[in-house]
Amino acid sequence: MKNQTIAKSRKELELKLKAALSDKIQMLSKELQHVLLDDLVTAFENRLNVLNRTQTNIQFSIELTECVKLETI
């Protein structure tokens, strides 16, 4: 079920990118358009994953720092 949801949202993102970039990528073959859009979706997902992990680590560091400050007072 989760894989279907991921595939659906991935396809939706690809369709949105295709619509947004249609005038820029129309000179490419359909196959190359698909490859490019797939690469862009993958890059976008990877960047989101990195940013989410970074944000989680920052929040954890802030919480840990606050705990340490409380203990040293």
**Annotated domain spans of the chain:** 2-72
pTM, whole model, 2 decimals?
0.69
Distance CA 22, CA 24 (A): 5
- Give the count of beta carbons closer than 10 Å to the beta carbon of residue 15: 11
Per-residue pLDDT of the chain (73 residues; tens, 9 = 90+): 666 667 789 999 999 999 999 999 999 999 999 999 999 999 999 998 888 888 777 766 666 666 665 555 5
Q: What is the pLDDT of residue 64?
A: 63
Distance CA 33, CA 41 (A): 12
What DSSP character marks residue 28? S
| Cβ contacts of 15-23, under 8 Å, gap ≥ 24 | 17/41
Helix (H) or strand (E) run with residue 44 in it: helix 30-72
